[in-house]
């Protein structure tokens, strides 16, 4: 494994070579669309070449073809940081995070403590940026113009957050957890990236994870420990945890009250001309599917067997079925789902076999339906919001039959 002290030295060396129209970004800025969303020629440390939006902070998207597997390889897992100042070196022997505030016993927890003093648990779960697929909205909202690759699924290992809090002992007035990581803003007036959780939102699947797919967390995915909240968008999965502060009252915070918010109405929507006045933080993921193969522009052979493959997921209700249409949504046919053995928070892979019987352009559509009966809508029926969050339109790829 790479020595952690070398990580950003090596990252700086590749940053210039990864430039695909990237720019330095920070909280509150508007990011312009990138016209050429191709995989770069140079990889960041611990990563294969990915679609690069920025090198500081690192913003890397997973290519579509990766989404045919139930678990996303660590070196192809997307990366999303908010602040440009990320620690250049973490000494694992000295690292710790604190539990403080309304607790009976303030704790300073090391990696050794985490691995040896608590019950170890694993959970397979999808990590997805709230702005995933933002570029598919019409009109396009401001923000990073993610395609469909700001997501991934991993097997996370760590310790239940509830067990850690039990060890600290919560005082009777305790209600909220303010969780902060180690990323810092370049400008001192930029607010810290902190997310708050209500104690009622905790269950046995919420963990402090130090491992991802059987390996240490990659540096760019939150090494040495991060929060894992299955079924919830990634902005709440704090990376490089520094502290967890227990409080009795909700604190108004920039990223929860202004940045990662959607309209607080029944449709969670508004018009481009007028923002809805009341908002709420994004939280549970909605139902979604992505076709991993074939990709846009691929060629399929006339009357030869072709297999559509992809992944589907939601916020934890579980996927009931995935349907495929080859005629613009006029008719739908069921795809074959995997066994679902990874659990309700993980990807369900699907496959669908057919023989193309017409030459020329062919649209392949995929629609996931969860166990609550919630289904992906057509793109034209997607409800719009200014943040460009929670896009889950029916996935469409266009191929050519030759």
The predicted structure's pLDDT at residue 41: 76
pTM of the model: 0.92
Strands 96-101 and 107-110, bridge-based pairing = antiparallel
The predicted structure's pLDDT at residue 88: 85
Give yes or no for residue 278 having a pLDDT over 50. yes
Spatial separation of the C-alpha atoms in residues 42 and 52, rounded to whole Å = 10
Work out the average pLDDT over 137-155.
97
The predicted structure's pLDDT at residue 2: 45
Q: What percent of the chain has pLDDT over 90?
A: 82
Q: How confident is the model at residue 17 (pLDDT cuts 50, 70, 90)?
A: very low
Work out the average pLDDT over 369-380.
97
**Strand ranges across the sheet with 51-55:** 51-55, 58-61, 79-80
The predicted structure's pLDDT at residue 37: 67
Spatial separation of the C-alpha atoms in residues 221 and 78, rounded to whole Å = 8
Domain limits, the chain? 1-259, 288-401
The predicted structure's pLDDT at residue 15: 44
The predicted structure's pLDDT at residue 112: 97
Give yes or no for residue 33 having a pLDDT over 50. no
Work out the average pLDDT over 341-358.
98
The predicted structure's pLDDT at residue 297: 97
CATH of domain 1-259: 3.90.420.10
Give yes or no for residue 130 having a pLDDT over 50. yes
The predicted structure's pLDDT at residue 133: 98
Of residues 356 and 56, more confidence is placed in: 356
- CATH pick for 288-401 out of 3.40.50.720, 2.60.40.650, 1.10.1750.10, 3.90.45.10: 2.60.40.650
Q: What angle do CA 99, 235, 379 make, to 5 degrees?
A: 160
Q: What angle do CA 94, 99, 104 make, to 5 degrees?
A: 130
Spatial separation of the C-alpha atoms in residues 381 and 400, rounded to whole Å = 26
| DSSP result, 216-281 | EPPGGGTTT-EEE-TTB-GGGS-SSEEEEEEESSPPP-HIIIIISEEE-STT---BTTB--S-EEE
Give yes or no for residue 356 having a pLDDT over 80. yes
The predicted structure's pLDDT at residue 9: 52
The predicted structure's pLDDT at residue 11: 52
């Amino acid at each position: 494994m790479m020595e952690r002290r070398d990580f950003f030295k090596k990252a700086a060396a590749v940053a210039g070579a990864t430039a695909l129209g990237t720019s330095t970004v920070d909280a509150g800025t508007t990011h312009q669309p990138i016209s050429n969303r191709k995989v770069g020629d140079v990889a960041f440390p611990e990563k294969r070449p990915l679609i690069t939006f920025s090198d500081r902070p690192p913003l890397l998207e997973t290519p579509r073809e990766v989404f045919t597997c139930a678990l996303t390889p660590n070196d192809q897992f997307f990366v999303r940081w908010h602040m440009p100042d990320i620690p250049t070196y973490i000494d694992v022997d000295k690292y710790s995070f604190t539990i403080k505030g309304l607790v009976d016993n303030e704790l300073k927890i090391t990696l050794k403590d985490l691995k040896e003093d608590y019950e170890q648990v694993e959970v397979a779960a999808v990590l997805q940026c709230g702005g995933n697929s933002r570029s598919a909205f019409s009109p396009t909202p401001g923000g990073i113009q993610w395609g469909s690759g700001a997501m991934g699924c991993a097997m996370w290992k760590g310790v239940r957050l509830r067990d850690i809090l039990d060890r600290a002992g919560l005082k009777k007035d305790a209600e909220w957890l303010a969780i902060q990581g180690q990323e810092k803003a370049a400008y001192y007036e930029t607010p810290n990236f902190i997310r708050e959780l209500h104690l009622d939102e905790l269950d046995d699947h919420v963990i402090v994870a130090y491992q991802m797919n059987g390996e240490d967390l990659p540096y760019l995915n939150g090494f040495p420990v991060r929060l894992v909240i299955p079924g919830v968008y990634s902005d709440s999965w704090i990376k490089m945890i520094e502290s967890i502060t227990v409080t009795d009252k909700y604190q108004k915070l920039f990223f929860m009250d202004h940045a990662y918010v959607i309209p607080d109405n029944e449709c969670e929507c508004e018009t481009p001309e007028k923002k809805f006045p009341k908002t709420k933080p994004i939280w549970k993921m909605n139902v979604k599917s992505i076709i991993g193969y074939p990709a846009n522009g691929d060629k399929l052979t006339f009357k030869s067997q072709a297999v559509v493959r992809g992944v589907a997921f939601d916020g934890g209700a579980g996927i009931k079925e995935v349907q495929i249409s080859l005629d613009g949504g006029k008719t739908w046919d069921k795809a074959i789902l995997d066994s679902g053995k990874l659990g309700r928070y993980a990807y369900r892979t699907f496959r669908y076999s057919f023989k193309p019987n017409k030459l020329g352009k062919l649209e392949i559509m995929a629609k996931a339906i969860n166990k609550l009966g919630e289904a992906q809508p057509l793109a034209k029926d997607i409800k719009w919001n200014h943040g460009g969050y929670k896009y889950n339109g029916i996935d469409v790829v266009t191929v050519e039959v030759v």
